[in-house]
Structure 1
Amino acid sequence: MRICSFANTATLLSLLVLALLQGCATTVVAPPPVIVAPQVIIAPTAEPESEPLVNQQITTIEDYIAQRQVDEARILLHSLSFNQLLTDQQTRYVLANANIALILGDGQEALSWLSGEYAYLLDGLPLQEQIALNLKRAEAYEFSGRSLSAARERIFLAPVLEGETAITNQEQIWFDLQLVPQEQLLSLVNTESSPDLTGWIELALISRTEDGELSRLQSVVEQWQLANSRHPAAKRLPRSLQMLTELTLNQPTRLGILLPLSGSLEKAGNAIRNGLLAAWYQARQYGQETPELTFYDTAANEDIGALYKQATAEGAQAIIGPLTKVKVQRMAGIQDLPIPVLALNYADSRVERVTNFYQFGLAPEDEAIQVANDIWQQGVRRVMIVAPDSAWGERVSDAFVRFWQLKGGVIASKAFFSQPDQYLTNIKNALNIQDSEERYQLLRRKLDEDLVFEFRRREDIDMVFMLAFPAQARQLKPILNYQRGVDLPVVATSILYSGVDDPDKNKDLEGVRFVEMPWRLAPSPIKNRVAEAFPESLDNYAALVALGVDAYRLYPRLAQMSVFNDVRIQGVTGAMTLTENGRIQRELDWAEVQDGLIRQVPATDLLQ
C-alpha cells in the first residue's frame, strides 16, 4: 500500500511501526499513544527484539525502490542509524542507497556506496548477487561519464553472463566505447594487457577512422574478424556493425541539395555547398563511390514542398537541406516523405517526429546542455550563470538551467549583462559583494571610525557558466577574478573563442574552459582541402563549411543511426549521434586557454 504525504517524518514512522507491531505474534501491552517507534528503529541493536522490525523496515524500503518511490524510501532510510545496524542490515542499507542513486541517475553517489568505504560489506555476497552488483557498478560509471571504466567492468563480467543478459551487456560495451575519446583509445591500444579489451578498442578505433565510408568500413571490420576469430565481438559483431552489408548495398546514387544559393543567405549557402563538395572530392580521391549531386536554390523558390517533389521526380534518392528555420519547419509539416531528408537546421521542438525526416544543425542550446551534463558528471552542483541580457542569451542560458535543474543542480546566482559599464555591478551583485560592502559601511557609520576591511564573495558556488562573446568575456573574466572569484572554475560555450589564436588578447581568458568543434581546434586533411579550394569560405563561415562536410558524412548512415543508438560518427563538428526525435546531437571537444593559446583538454579534468 502506498504511503501518501504526512505532516512530518515522525508521524510517518509512528504509523508504520504501529502497523508492523500490530502484525506481529507478540501482543503489545502499551496503548498506541505511548509507542515511541522512531526511537526503537533508530537504535535497533540496543534491544534484540527490535531486529525483526528493522528487517521489515528495510524490506519496505526495498519494496519502495522496486516501485521507484524514491522519496518514501529515502524518508525511511534516513530514520536508520547505520552504525547501529547488524552487518547484513548494513549491506542492505548500502545497496538501497546505491539503487536510489541509480534511479536518480547520480553515478557519483552510486559509486560512493558501491566502491567507496562501504565496499567491504559487498565482498561476501553470493555469485549471482556479485554479478548484479558489478552490473550496477558499470551503470554507475556510465551515469558519471566514466565510459571506459564501465566498459572494463562489463568486459570483466562478460564470461559469466548468459542469454539475453550477455547480449545486452555486449551491446552496452560497444556503446560505452563509442563515448571514449579517440586519443584515450589510441594511448591504450598498445599498452592494455587484456586481450578482450584490446580487441574491443581496436574495433572501436576502426569504426572511427574510416570517415564513415561504408564499403571500406565493412572491409576493415571483416579483416579484424579474421585476425581476432576468438574474440567475443568477432563471434557476434555489435548489431550496428552487422547492418553494414545492408547499408552498403542500398546507398543513394543521387542527392538533391536544397540551399540558398542567391539572395541574403547566398554566402552561408555557398559555405555549406563548399563543405559538401570538399567531402565529395575527398571521397573520390580515396577511390570511394560517390553520388551525383544536384543543387536547388531555395532562395529562388519559396515553396520547399515543390522543390522536394521536383528533386524526387528528377531522381534524387536522398535530400540534404533546407537551411533556414522557416523552411525546415515547413518541411517538417510534410507528412509523406518517400525519400529521407537531412535538414540543416532545427524545427520547433513541438513538431512531432516525421518518418524520413532528420535535423542537423549548430544550435548553441545543445552546447549549453553538453556543458551542463559534463560538469554535472564531475560533481558540480551549484553554478553561477553569467549571460547576455538579450533574447538570445536568455534562450541559451534557459537551456542550461532546464537541464541543470532537472538533474537536481542548483543555480546559486545569475549575472545578466548588457552594457560594459554595468559588468562590474552585475558581477558584484551575483557574488553578493554589494552586501559585504554595505555591511562595512553600516559598521563604519555605527562605530564612527575607519575599519580594516576586506570584502568577501559568497562561498556557495562550485563553478561559473559564462555565456559571452570574446570581447565580452575578456572584460568579464578579469572582473570576476578581481571580485575574489579567481579560484572559481569557469566554463563556456564555443562563442567564447573567435577562432584566432591571439595570446595578447586571450590572456584575459586564462584558465577558461569551453566546448568547441574539432574543426576549429585541430588541422585535418579535409580542412586543408577547403583552405586550398575555397579560402573565402573559411574567413567568416568556417562553422558552416564544417556543417556541409559532416552533412555529407551523415546521410549514408541515417538508416543505421535510426535503428541503433550506439552509432556514433566522429565528425568535424563533433561526435554525432541521433536522438529519438530525429535530431542529430553533437558532442564537442573541450579546450582551455593556456598562456593565451587554445589547447585541447580531457573532458574529465574540468574541475582542475
Structure 2
Amino acid sequence: MPLRSSARLLAWLFALLLAGCASQGPRPTGMDSPIADLSSIDSVQQRLDIARQLLAQERTEDAEVALSVIQFDQLSIAEQTDYAELRAELALQRNDGQEALNWLVGDTAYLYDGLPMQRQIDLRLKRAEAYELVGEYLAAARERIFLAPQLDGDVAQNNRDRIWSALQRVPEEQLRTLIAAESSPDLTGWLELALITRENVDDVRQQLLAITNWINTHRNHPAAQNLPGDLALLRELANRQPQNIAVLVPLSGPLEKAGRAIRSGLLAAWYEARTNGRETPAITFFDTALNDDVYNVYKQAVFEGADLVIGPLDKNRVQRLQSQAALTVPVLALNYGDDRQSAPENFYQFGLAPEDEAIQVADQAWQEGNRRAMVLAPNSDWGRKVSDAFIQRWERQGGRITSRSLFTQPDQYLYTVKRALNIDDSEQRERNIARLTERDVVFEPRRRQDIDLIFMVAFPPQARQLKPILNYQYATAIPVMGTSHLYAGTLNRERDEDLNGVQFVEMPWKLHQSELENSVEQAFNEEFSGYETLIALGVDAYQLHPRLVQLQRFPTARVYGETGILRLDPSRRIHRELTWATITEGVAQASNGPLPSTEPRF
C-alpha cells in the first residue's frame, strides 16, 4: 500500500473511532463529518473497510454514503463478495429484510460459494434474520435448523431460541403440510413439537402429556435435550391453574349485548373443553352494571373464592382496577387502561386494539418494499387514532407519508380522493390551458406518482365506495391495505366485489368457520350481529387464562387464538397478530404465507 494512502486511511479510521466514541447515534453526513473525505481514498478495499467500521458502530447513514461511491460491476470477485455482504448487513440494520435477501439469495448468491466455514455460518445467520423480517418464518427456521450442528455455546442456544420463536409464527396448515412431506428428522421433530403447542391450548396438563410423549419418541433430538423454556415451564403451570374464575362483564344496561357476547364466547370455550374431557374451572359471572365501583365487585368475587378475575370490559372500570396499588388475585381485563399509568404486577390487559392492526399493516407494507404511503381515514377520533398508529410506525421505519386525507360524508368521498391524488390540481391545469388557448383540449388527468401504497381505514360501507373511486381516479395499480374494519365478516360477493384486490388483516374467527363458532350459534339462542368479535374475545380470554405466567416469563411465547396470534409485552398488555387476507371476486381469501421453494443453500 502506498505510504500516502496508508496515512490517509489511518487518519480516516482515527477520526472514525473518535466520532464513534463521541456519539452512539447516526452522525450527519455534512462537511464536518469524516465521511465527506471519502473521495480522497483511492483503494476500494479501504472504502469497504471503512463501511464495515461504520456498520460496526451502527452508523447506517454514513455506511450508505461509503458504499454508494463504489461501482459494484467494477469490483473483483472478492470485493463484490465483501460489498454484497456489507449491503446485506446495512439492510438488516435498517430492518429491510427484502433488501437483505436480494443480496443474500438473489443474483449475488453465487459469490458466497467456497467461502470459509465461519463466514458461511455468519451469512446463513444473516439470511435467517432476513427471512424473519419479511415474515417467512418457516424459511428462517429451516436455515437455523440446518445450521445448528455447526454452532456451540451461547450462539447455539440463541439459535435454538430463534428456531422456536420462528416456529411459533408459522401457520398450523404449513406445519401439517411440512410434517407430511419432510424427510429431515431434526426438522420434522421441531415441526411436530410446534404443532403440539397449537393443540389443547386451554389444557396445560394435556399439553404437558403430549410433550412428554414427544420427548420419549425423540430422545436424540436437540429440543428433547434442551426443551424450549416456555415448554419447560408447563409442569410448574400445571400445578397452579385457577380453580375458580370470576368474570366481570355488563349483563344489563347499555353494554348488555357486548357483555353477553363475551359470556357466550367464554362459555362456548369452557363447554368445548369439558366435552373433550379436559379439566375446567368453576366460572361465576358478576354483572358490573349493578355496581358503579368495580373494585367492590372485584373484592366480592375474591371473597367468594375467585383465584382469577376476567374483566371488566369498559375502559373506566379497567382503569379503576389498574389504579390499585396491589391486587390479591390476578386480573385479565378485557380492555386497555391508560398506558401512561402503572399497574399491579398481576394485572393483565387484553382487548381488540385497532392500533395493533395498523402497526401490522405498516410492518408488512414496509417489508414488501413500499416507502411512500398515502393514508385515507375517517375524520373522527377513532380514524385519527388508527391512522396515527400507522403513520408513527411507518415514519419510525424511515417511510414517508405523501398525504393523509380524512373523509366525512359520502358525497365528499370523490373530492377527498381527488385531492389526495392531486387529481384536482391536474384538472385545474386542464382548465387553465383551455382558457389560455381558447380551444377544446384533449386531456387525461394524471394522479401524483409518488405513492407506493394506500393505507385505508374504513368500515365496509365506506370502503365499498372508496375503492371504486380510487380505481376511477387512476389509482388501480396502487396496492390498497387496511385493517379488519373494512370487511363485514360475512359472505357477500355482490357488495364486496367493489373491494377486489384490497389486502387487509383479519381475526381467524371471521375467516374460518370453526366447530367452536358453530357451537356458539347452536348453544346460545341470542342474536349477536355486530358483536362477533366480542364472542371471539370471550373465547380467547378463556384460552389465555392458563397461559398468562408463561407469556410473561417468555416474551417469544405465543397463544394461537380466535382473535389472532397473542403475545404479552413487558407492560403485561396482550398484542394480536392477525391473518392476512385479500378480497378476490368478492370473497375474502386468507393467506397462510409462502412456503419455502428450495432447500437452504450452504
TM-score, length-scaled by structure 2: 0.90
Distance in 2 (CA, whole Å) between partners of 1:14 and 1:2 is 11
Alignment of 1:294-443 (within 5 A): 294-352=284-342, 354-443=344-433
Give the conservation status (yes or no) of the 8 Å contact 1:13–1:76.
Answer: no
Shift of 1:56: 4.5
Which range is displaced more, 400-409 or 97-106?
97-106
Distance in 2 (CA, whole Å) between partners of 1:185 and 1:410 is 37
Match of 2:142 among 149, 152, 174: 152
Shift of 1:84: 4.5
Distance in 1 (CA, whole Å) between partners of 2:344 and 2:108 is 49
Match of 2:122 among 113, 127, 132: 132
Distance in 1 (CA, whole Å) between partners of 2:501 and 2:372 is 19
Give the conservation status (yes or no) of the 8 Å contact 2:29–2:61.
Answer: no
Distance in 2 (CA, whole Å) between partners of 1:308 and 1:421 is 49
Which range is displaced more, 308-317 or 362-371?
308-317
Shift of 1:511: 2.2
Residues 213-253 of structure 1: CA deviation (Å, up to 9, x unaligned): 11111111122222222222222221111111111111111
Match of 1:237 among 205, 224, 227: 227
Q: Go from structure 1 to structure 2 and tell me whether the alpha carbon gap of 1:15 and 1:106 turns closer, same or farther (over 3 Å shift).
A: closer
Distance in 1 (CA, whole Å) between partners of 2:449 and 2:281 is 59
Distance in 2 (CA, whole Å) between partners of 1:406 and 1:537 is 43
Matched, 1:185 2:175: yes
| One-letter amino acid matched to 2:125 | L
Instruction: Give 4+ residue runs of structure 1 displaced > 6 Å after superposition.
Output: 3-8
Q: Please name the residue that 1:108 is paired with.
A: 98
Alignment of 1:480-495 (within 5 A): 480-495=470-485
Matched, 1:470 2:457: no
Distance in 2 (CA, whole Å) between partners of 1:198 and 1:14 is 49
Distance in 1 (CA, whole Å) between partners of 2:259 and 2:89 is 51
Q: Please name the residue that 1:165 is paired with.
A: 155
Matched, 1:572 2:562: yes
Distance in 2 (CA, whole Å) between partners of 1:373 and 1:576 is 17
Shift of 1:169: 0.8
Q: Go from structure 1 to structure 2 and tell me whether the alpha carbon gap of 1:353 and 1:169 turns closer, same or farther (over 3 Å shift).
A: farther
SS of aligned partner of 1:500: coil
Distance in 2 (CA, whole Å) between partners of 1:352 and 1:104 is 32
SS of aligned partner of 1:208: coil
Q: Please name the residue that 1:19 is paired with.
A: none
Residues 522-560 of structure 1: CA deviation (Å, up to 9, x unaligned): 211211111112142532321111111110110100000
SS of aligned partner of 1:538: coil
Q: Go from structure 1 to structure 2 and tell me whether the alpha carbon gap of 1:480 and 1:136 turns closer, same or farther (over 3 Å shift).
A: same
Q: Please name the residue that 2:550 is paired with.
A: 560
Q: Go from structure 1 to structure 2 and tell me whether the alpha carbon gap of 1:11 and 1:306 turns closer, same or farther (over 3 Å shift).
A: closer
Q: Please name the residue that 2:7 is paired with.
A: none
Q: Please name the residue that 2:202 is paired with.
A: 212
Q: Go from structure 1 to structure 2 and tell me whether the alpha carbon gap of 1:132 and 1:111 turns closer, same or farther (over 3 Å shift).
A: same
Matched, 1:526 2:505: no
| One-letter amino acid matched to 2:19 | R
| One-letter amino acid matched to 1:215 | R
Shift of 1:563: 0.8
Give the conservation status (yes or no) of the 8 Å contact 1:328–1:347.
Answer: yes
Q: Go from structure 1 to structure 2 and tell me whether the alpha carbon gap of 1:210 and 1:15 turns closer, same or farther (over 3 Å shift).
A: closer
Shift of 1:8: 6.3
Residues 278-321 of structure 1: CA deviation (Å, up to 9, x unaligned): 11111111111111112222222222223323322322111111
Q: Go from structure 1 to structure 2 and tell me whether the alpha carbon gap of 1:535 and 1:575 turns closer, same or farther (over 3 Å shift).
A: farther
Residues 118-156 of structure 1: CA deviation (Å, up to 9, x unaligned): 333333432122212211111111112111111010011
SS of aligned partner of 2:292: coil
Distance in 2 (CA, whole Å) between partners of 1:115 and 1:469 is 40
| One-letter amino acid matched to 2:242 | P
Q: Please name the residue that 1:121 is paired with.
A: 111
Shift of 1:87: 4.5
| One-letter amino acid matched to 1:546 | A
SS of aligned partner of 1:170: helix
Residues 81-137 of structure 1: CA deviation (Å, up to 9, x unaligned): 444555444433333322222222111122222222333333343212221221111
Q: Go from structure 1 to structure 2 and tell me whether the alpha carbon gap of 1:456 and 1:343 turns closer, same or farther (over 3 Å shift).
A: same
Which range is displaced more, 370-379 or 54-63?
54-63
SS of aligned partner of 1:59: helix
Matched, 1:227 2:248: no
SS of aligned partner of 2:290: coil
| One-letter amino acid matched to 1:389 | N
Give the conservation status (yes or no) of the 8 Å contact 2:29–2:35.
Answer: no
Which range is displaced more, 89-98 or 222-231?
89-98
Residues 469-507 of structure 1: CA deviation (Å, up to 9, x unaligned): 111111111111111122222222111122222222222
| One-letter amino acid matched to 1:220 | A
Q: Go from structure 1 to structure 2 and tell me whether the alpha carbon gap of 1:223 and 1:77 turns closer, same or farther (over 3 Å shift).
A: same
Which range is displaced more, 558-567 or 186-195?
186-195
Shift of 1:467: 1.0
Q: Please name the residue that 2:443 is paired with.
A: 453
Distance in 1 (CA, whole Å) between partners of 2:378 and 2:29 is 43
Q: Go from structure 1 to structure 2 and tell me whether the alpha carbon gap of 1:127 and 1:353 turns closer, same or farther (over 3 Å shift).
A: farther
Give the conservation status (yes or no) of the 8 Å contact 2:568–2:574.
Answer: yes
Give the conservation status (yes or no) of the 8 Å contact 1:531–1:538.
Answer: no
Residues 350-372 of structure 1: CA deviation (Å, up to 9, x unaligned): 12353111110011121111111
| One-letter amino acid matched to 2:325 | Q
SS of aligned partner of 1:299: helix
Q: Please name the residue that 1:253 is paired with.
A: 243
Q: Please name the residue that 2:6 is paired with.
A: none
| One-letter amino acid matched to 1:150 | A
Q: Report which structure shows greater RCO (CA 8 Å, sep ≥6).
A: 2
Distance in 1 (CA, whole Å) between partners of 2:27 and 2:68 is 16
Give the conservation status (yes or no) of the 8 Å contact 1:212–1:569.
Answer: no
Matched, 1:2 2:10: no
Give the conservation status (yes or no) of the 8 Å contact 1:589–1:603.
Answer: no
Which range is displaced more, 453-462 or 397-406?
453-462
Shift of 1:388: 0.8
Gaps of 5+ in 2: 1-17, 596-602
Residues 256-291 of structure 1: CA deviation (Å, up to 9, x unaligned): 211122221122112111211111111111111111
Which range is displaced more, 82-91 or 273-282?
82-91
Distance in 1 (CA, whole Å) between partners of 2:195 and 2:250 is 37
TM-score, length-scaled by structure 1: 0.90
Give the conservation status (yes or no) of the 8 Å contact 1:510–1:595.
Answer: yes
User: Could you say which structure has the larger radius of gyration?
Assistant: 1
Task: Please tell me the root mean square deviation across aligned C-alpha atoms, in Å.
Answer: 2.2
Q: Please name the residue that 2:3 is paired with.
A: none
Q: Go from structure 1 to structure 2 and tell me whether the alpha carbon gap of 1:6 and 1:499 turns closer, same or farther (over 3 Å shift).
A: closer
| One-letter amino acid matched to 1:80 | I
Distance in 1 (CA, whole Å) between partners of 2:196 and 2:180 is 15
Q: Percent identity?
A: 51
Distance in 1 (CA, whole Å) between partners of 2:309 and 2:148 is 42
Match of 1:73 among 46, 63, 81: 63
Aligned length: 574
Give the conservation status (yes or no) of the 8 Å contact 2:580–2:590.
Answer: yes
Distance in 1 (CA, whole Å) between partners of 2:265 and 2:133 is 36
Gaps of 5+ in 1: 17-36, 45-50
Q: Go from structure 1 to structure 2 and tell me whether the alpha carbon gap of 1:312 and 1:57 turns closer, same or farther (over 3 Å shift).
A: same
Matched, 1:196 2:186: yes
